[in-house]
Amino acid sequence: MPVTRRLAISLYRHPRVALLLLLAPPLLWLGVVYLGSLSSLVVQSFFSLDGFTGQVVRRFTLATYRDLLTPANMDIVMRTAGMAAAVTLAAAVAAFPLAYYMARYASPRGKAALYLAVLLPLWSSYLVRVFSWKLILAKEGILNWTVQRLALGGALDWLLGLPVIGGPSLSVSLLGMFVVFLYVWLPYMILPVEAALERIPESFLEASADLGARPGQTFRQVILPLALPGVIAGSIFTFSLTLGDFIVPYALGNSALFIGQAVLAHQGTSGNIPLAAAFTVVPMVIMAFYLLAAKRTGAFDAL
C-alpha cells in the first residue's frame, strides 16, 4: 500500500489529528498573529511615553489612560461617537424606502438588480467613493452649481452658518462629512433591513388591515417592530465603521479631530503608540457594549 494511502486511512481513523492539521494554519494566523497583535495593542495602552526621551517605557501604568481622559481627548471621543450615532440614525431612515420597495414590490428580476445595486457600493472602491465627494462638494463643484440654479443659496448658507456642524463650505464641515459617511455606509444598513422586512409574512399586514388599522398604524405597530432587529444588525456596521474611520475626516474635515485621526497622528508623527493604543481601546469597548446590547434584541439572527 502506498504511503499516502496509509496516511489517508490513518487520518480517517483519527479525525482529531486530521482536524488539527486542517486547523493549524488558520489558527496560527488568526489566533497567534492577529489575536497576538490585538493583545499586544491592549498591553501597550498600559505603557507610557517618556516625555523627555520620546521612548516608550515598558512598565505598567495608567498614565496613558489619564491622558486619554483629558478634556481635549474626550472631545475627540464624543465628537466621533456623536457622528457615529447621527450617521446610524440617518442610515436607518434612509435605508427604509429602498429596503421596503425591494422586499415588497420589486419583481424577482428587479429585486436581483436592486440587490446588486446595493452590493456593489458595499464591496468596491471605498476610497474612490469618498474621493468622489471631494469633487461634488467643492465650492465650484456640482452641488453648489445645483443649489445656485435652484436659488437655494440662502438655505445652504444658513445651514453652513449653524454652530458645530457648519463651516466655511460643505467640503470642510461636519455636515459634509455626515453626508459622506451616510453615503459610504448606507448599503450596510439596507441589506439587513431588507432581509428583516422580507421575513414579515404578508398575512400579518392583511390581518392588521382587516382589523381596521390604517396603513400608518400598520407601519408603526407591525412593520417597524418586526424590522427592528434588521435595523440593529445594520447599525452595528454603520456605528463601528464610523467610529474607526479616518479617511472621511481627513478628506472632508477641519482641524477638529476624530478618533481615527488621533490614532494615526499619535502612532505616526509623535510616536506615542501607548496613547494611540488607548484611543483604539475606546471603539473596542464601545463596540463590545453595543454588541452585547444588540445580542439581547436578537439582532444577530438578522445578519
Residues 165-204 that bind another protein (CB under 8 A): 183, 186-188, 190-191, 198-199, 201-203
Q: Which is nearer to another protein, 174 or 243 (CB)?
A: 243
Q: Which is nearer to another protein, 21 or 164 (CB)?
A: 21
Q: Which is nearer to another protein, 113 or 164 (CB)?
A: 113
Judge whether 98 and 197 are in contact, CB under 8 Å: no
Binding track, positions 97-116, relative to another protein; x by CB under 8 A: xx-xx--xx------x-x-x
* CA 242/CA 89 separation, integer angstroms: 12
Q: Which of 7, 182, 3 is nearest to 93 (CA)?
A: 182
Q: According to CB under 8 A, which residues from 21 to 40 bind another protein?
A: 22-23, 25-27, 29-31, 33-38, 40
Q: Which of 235, 224, 204 is nearest to 299 (CA)?
A: 235
Q: Any contact of residue 135 with another protein (CB under 8 A)?
A: yes
Rg (CA), the chain: 25
Q: According to CB under 8 A, which residues from 220 to 279 bind another protein?
A: 236-237, 240-241, 243-247, 250-251, 259-260, 263-264, 267, 273, 276-277
Q: What are the backbone angles phi and psi of residue 163, rounded to the nearest 5°?
A: -70, 160
Close Cβ partners of 72 (under 8 Å, ≥ 6 residues apart)? none
Q: How far is the CB of 226 from another protein (least distance, A)?
A: 14
Binding track, positions 50-89, relative to another protein; x by CB under 8 A: ----------------------------------------
- Write out the three cell numbers for 252: 472632508
DSSP type of residue 125: -
Q: Which is nearer to another protein, 164 or 221 (CB)?
A: 221
| Out of 61, 69, 74, 132, the residue judged to bind another protein by CB under 8 A | 132
Judge whether 186 and 91 are in contact, CB under 8 Å: yes
* CA 116/CA 102 separation, integer angstroms: 11
Q: Which is nearer to another protein, 107 or 163 (CB)?
A: 107
